[in-house]
Amino acid sequence: MHNKKMIASLVCSALLTAGVQAADIKQGGTLNVPIITTGFVENYNPYTTKDIFHGIMFEPLMVFNNMTGETDFRLAESANYSDDLKTITVKMRDGLKWSDGSPLSAGDVAFSFVLAKDNPAFDSKGIWSGGNLKSVEATDDRTVVFTLANPDSTFIWNLEKYHILPEKVWSKAENATTFTNPNPIGTGPMTEVKFLKSQQMELCRNPNYYLEGRPYLDCVSFRSYNDNSQVQPALMKGEVDWGSNFIADIETTFVKRDPDNNHFWYPANDAIHLYLNTKKVPFNDLKVRQALSMALDRDLIVDIAAYGYPTANFNAGGIGELYAQNINKDISEKYASLTTFNQDKAKALLDEAGVKDVDGDGYRDNPDGSKLEFNIEVVNGWTDWIQVVQMVTEFYDEVGIKSNVKTVDWAVYDSNLKQSNYDVAINWSMVATNPIIAYQEYFSTSRVGNSWHAGHGVNDPEIDSLIDSFGQTGSPEEQKAILDKLQVFTAENLPFIPLFSNPTWFQYSTKKVDGWPTKENPYVQPVWYDGGKRVIILNNLHLK
């Protein structure tokens, strides 16, 4: 029998989270934010623009706030599971409108989810390709019913990631995947495009936003930068108010320039790994994967390449600091040798695997005598990760392994990871309400080809079933046992090498704008690149 208290906790609502009263807040002002891109074009399709419009132009149904453990209902008023966990009934807010003033109905919501079925490229969380969603139906103007083939108490977590779009517009698009959505109609706090040029785009207040008096700000101005190295001076000069990227020596380069207004807060975020393509030699050999892990000094990598901001991750079980309460310490300790810096042991394992220097050039060769050399992919401009990968190649050099830093554009990186077209790649792990979602992304067969995290080649039907069983129970004890088994499976197969727990990169200026989440008022994890978290912050920001 499932735990109804647990299910109820999924649907508790906390609409507004900051402690400032609306009557005390000034309206107006523009928030300046950096976007790492080569430039803006007139494309307002939220599925083909790296989700920069989610939570700004397009409001989610709800937001699962992993910082508070609560559900912040947005377009939806409530969401409830049936007793058998096979039906989710979502009730929409009364009187919702699109930004052009026309009514938003449950039919639009149902259409939006079916759109993801008809266009698999939009099915970002695999709700259709995974096979469990049977149907989405609007039973009246405010009610949407999701019918599942099998019980799944985790399915509801997917709903916030899909864009709610107007049927009257998108039903007329000949090809939704190439549709640029000119003259966009949205539901988010900022929907009106006031200014657009190659390096700057401005979105302004939705005249029909469903929250009275919100947003407090008039506009959000997106400014285009090529990489992190350009964002840092922009922050220092006060050109942008909100930074969400790595900044070198933040205390000196940013805070000290204006200590009263320049701040940062780096709460724990995703686990960063080196993903290994086990479909290729020599990564198909577990001993090689173990050796590559033992060859790395994580503390030194964090201190030197990442300026000490992350936390070294010695847990081989697949999750890091963000999910510290879910890490089974006994399991982590059992496999601690896999993440302990030990180059002598790494060399011994490589020898046992037959990876030896055959031609005497100082570098090891594959067991068949062929040259062993591989690339580690990282996105061009991601300066902190490039430094990390450079250090990794130096450690591998010390055990006789030839590896190279390979910087690629985002589009290439995105495609290569999803299509398993890489040797090794540095990448993050999924941040979600519960770590079971991270394991789904790592191992569920349905995610292969759709996820950056599933292309490593380690899959098992029994693990698929184990992951699926998590949503079939509401028992915390049973769910813990499932997570423990997944930690063991990850450690024993090591398809990716844990490096560190990334901080949530968050720099902000209070010179003009206030209402930010802080360590003292952690009302949401301050992630710009997550539309749900972003909309909560935008609804609380205001002129100082």
Output the tens digit of pLDDT for each of the chain's 544 residues: 344 434 444 444 444 444 455 567 889 999 999 998 888 999 999 999 988 999 999 999 999 998 888 899 999 999 999 989 999 999 999 999 999 999 999 999 999 999 999 999 999 888 999 888 999 999 999 999 999 999 999 899 999 999 999 999 999 999 999 999 999 999 999 999 999 999 999 999 999 999 999 999 999 999 999 887 888 889 888 999 999 988 888 999 899 999 999 999 998 899 999 999 999 999 999 999 999 999 999 999 999 998 889 999 999 999 998 898 899 999 999 999 999 999 999 999 999 999 999 999 999 999 999 999 999 999 998 988 999 999 999 999 999 999 999 999 999 999 999 999 999 999 999 888 889 999 999 999 989 998 999 999 999 999 999 998 998 887 889 999 999 999 999 999 999 999 999 999 999 999 999 999 999 999 999 988 899 999 999 999 999 9
Which of 31, 78, 501 is closest to 267 using CA atoms? Answer: 501
CB 429 within 8 A of CB 320: yes
Contacts of residue 161, defined as CB under 8 A and 6 or more positions apart, other chains included, come to: 60, 124, 125, 532
Give the Cα separation of 507 and 186 in Å (integer).
Answer: 28
Burial tier of 370 (Cβ tally within 10 Å: 0-12, 13-18, 19+): exposed
Preceding omega of 166 cis (within 30 degrees of 0)? no
pTM value is 0.77
Q: What is the DSSP letter of 277?
A: -
Q: Are strands 513-514 and 542-543 parallel, antiparallel or unpaired?
A: antiparallel
CATH of 23-56+188-267+504-543, one of 3.40.190.10, 3.10.20.30, 3.20.19.10, 2.40.50.140: 3.40.190.10
Give the Cα separation of 290 and 424 in Å (integer).
Answer: 14
Looking at domain 268-503, does it have CATH number 3.30.1240.10? no
Contacts of residue 5, defined as CB under 8 A and 6 or more positions apart, other chains included, come to: none
CB 321 within 8 A of CB 501: yes
From-to residues of CATH 3.40.190.10 in the chain: 23-56+188-267+504-543
Token pair of 536 as six digits: 């909560």
Q: Where are the beta strands (DSSP E) in 198-259?
A: 200-205, 219-225, 242-243
* CATH architecture, range 60-181: Alpha-Beta Complex (3.90)
Token pair of 345 as six digits: 């042991």
Burial tier of 260 (Cβ tally within 10 Å: 0-12, 13-18, 19+): exposed
From-to residues of CATH 3.10.105.10 in the chain: 268-503
Residues in the chain: 544
Q: Are strands 87-92 and 143-148 parallel, antiparallel or unpaired?
A: antiparallel
How many beta carbons lie within 10 A of that of residue 424, not counting itself? 27
From-to residues of CATH 3.90.76.10 in the chain: 60-181
Q: In which residue are the tokens 């290729």 written?
A: 280
CB 367 within 8 A of CB 354: yes
